[in-house]
Structure 1
Amino acid sequence: MEKKLESAHRFLAQEIGRTPRVAMITGTGLNAVTEALEVDARIPYAAIPHFPVSTTDGHRGTLAVGTFAGKRLIALEGRFHLYEGYSAAEIALPIRVMRLLGVTHLFISSAAGGLNPRFNPGDLMLITDHINLTGKSPLTGPNLETLGPRFPDLTKAYAPDLQRLASAAALEERMELQKGVYAAVHGPHLETPSETRYLRLIGGDAVGMSTVMETIAAVHCGLKVLAIAVIANVNRPDLMEEISLDDVITRANQASPRLARLWGRIMNLTEEGPF
């Protein structure tokens, strides 16, 4: 794994030059979030040594470098999932490469199904914590001591200071920002009514198939994480409605301009900060 990381790191260091401090991941149907990026370079994942390749519709599958809201940014346009057949370690590889490049902050966007009955489709939810129900961890196997400790603490996996910044940004934008716990499942099948009821019972406010592997890997190697999910639909176990990937992509696309505005405001509120 270390040789793969170093190979990808060397390639990107040559292609990118000066590395931004912030990396952003966009999820299903959220490519529009990076349309405001003034792109200096865009590299297909397939061209990067040992990088996974996105196979899910709605994921562009490119790494872009440019300026967003006046700040330099690396954007991972599309992500990787356990249900695609990738291991947790493979999903973590791009995060670890970002750390080797000098990134210090990871911004995560994703689409999710709402579990909280107070939510509505199209809402934005600030992720305050997660429940990992995948049975997987990117830290399984030998620990990469050069990146982080064997047993990283996840008490504050989603950085509280960045959460406060996001709340302040939403207030300035006069934008409602929900808060909640993200329950991660393996997928790719969607949840049954009984599973939905269980997820809500154990404290989940939204459910999805991404984000958590990336967050665990990021915390392990010392990155500060801020994550916001677009609520594509709301699952009410007694009134379950069928939803397709096309529906998720459509609703995520509709929410993308608001999400991009919010990310831009967050970046603008850090004039004196690390970005």
Structure 2
Amino acid sequence: MWEQVQETVNYINNTINFRPEYGVILGSGLGSFTDDIQIEHTLPYNEIPNFPVSTVEGHKGALVFGTIGDKKVVAMQGRFHYYEGYDMKQVTFPVRVMKYLGVEKLIVSNASGGVNPDYKVGSIVIIKDHINLLPEHPLRGKNDLRFGPRFVNMSEPYSRKMIAAAKTIAYELQIDVKDGVYLGLQGPTFETLAEYKMVKAMGGDCVGMSTVPEVIVARHMELETFGISVITDMGDEESIDTITHKEVLEAAKTAEPKVRKLISELIKRY
């Protein structure tokens, strides 16, 4: 893994001269965030050594380098999921690469199903914590101390300072945000009604198929991390019958302008 990460980092550094401070992982329906970046370089995943290739509709598949305000940013247009057939080391490989490109802060976004009755379709949720129910752990196997410690303290997976800053910005911009606990499941099926009830009973406010592995690996390498989710469906009797991936993308797109503004301002100010 170490050699692969260094090979990829060296390729990117030799291809472009750019040292980002922020990394951004764009989830379903949020790929247009790159419109807010003053783009300097774009590298398709299929041109980057050791990079997987996204197979999911709504995930374009490129690293985008540029600036937001005076901050240098690298954004992933499309992430990788365990349900696509990748193992967790492949899913989280780009986070390792970001770290050694110079990234110090990571922002992750996703679309999720809501079980908190205070949410509705289109709600923007700042992730304050998560529950990992994915079947493979990204740190399983021999630990490489060059990346981080064997046992990682997960008492603050999502930066409290970044959460506070985002809430202040949301208040100023009159963007309604909630906060909550994100529960990660394997997918690719949407949850059954019984599974949604399980998520709620276990203390989750929303549920999705990504984010958790990336955040674990980010914390392994001491990246300061912020997570945000768009509620694209509600796990209740009224809406569960009709949910499709197309509807998820449409719901995410409706909320996207507010999410984009919030993330852009957070990067500029924090």
Q: Indicate whether the TM-score tops 0.5.
A: yes
Q: How many residues align?
A: 270
- 8 Å CA contact 1:117–1:236 kept in 2: the answer is no
Superposed counterparts of 1:66-105, under 5 Å? 66-105=66-105
Give the RMSD, CA atoms, in angstroms: 1.2
Whole-angstrom distance in 2 between the partners of 1:15 and 1:111: 32
Whole-angstrom distance in 2 between the partners of 1:240 and 1:186: 18
Superposed counterparts of 1:241-256, under 5 Å? 241-256=241-256
Counting aligned pairs with the same residue, the percent is 36
Which sections of structure 2, spanning at least 5 residues, go unmatched? none
The answer as to 2:252 corresponding to 1:268 is no
TM-score with structure 1 setting the length: 0.95
Cα displacement (A) at 1:96: 0.5
Counterpart of 2:229 in 1: which secondary structure? strand
1:163-210 per-position Cα deviation (integer Å, ceiling 9, x unaligned):
111111111111111100000000001111111101001111110000
Whole-angstrom distance in 2 between the partners of 1:115 and 1:35: 31
Whole-angstrom distance in 2 between the partners of 1:44 and 1:239: 37
- 8 Å CA contact 1:197–1:237 kept in 2: the answer is no
Code of the residue aligned with 1:216 in structure 2: it is I
Counterpart of 2:158 in 1: which secondary structure? coil
- 8 Å CA contact 2:20–2:74 kept in 1: the answer is yes
- 8 Å CA contact 1:194–1:237 kept in 2: the answer is no
Q: Aligned residue for 1:180? A: 180
Code of the residue aligned with 2:141 in structure 1: it is G
Whole-angstrom distance in 1 between the partners of 2:237 and 2:161: 34
Superposed counterparts of 1:44-59, under 5 Å? 44-59=44-59
The answer as to 2:147 corresponding to 1:147 is yes
Superposed counterparts of 1:176-215, under 5 Å? 176-215=176-215
Cα displacement (A) at 1:238: 6.9
Which sections of structure 1, spanning at least 5 residues, go unmatched? 271-275
Whole-angstrom distance in 1 between the partners of 2:185 and 2:158: 18
Code of the residue aligned with 2:80 in structure 1: it is F
Superposed counterparts of 1:2-41, under 5 Å? 2-41=2-41
Whole-angstrom distance in 1 between the partners of 2:108 and 2:250: 19
Q: Aligned residue for 1:257? A: 257
Cα displacement (A) at 1:16: 3.0
Counterpart of 1:29 in 2: which secondary structure? coil
Cα displacement (A) at 1:267: 2.1
The answer as to 2:112 corresponding to 1:112 is yes
Code of the residue aligned with 1:160 in structure 2: it is R
- 8 Å CA contact 2:21–2:71 kept in 1: the answer is no
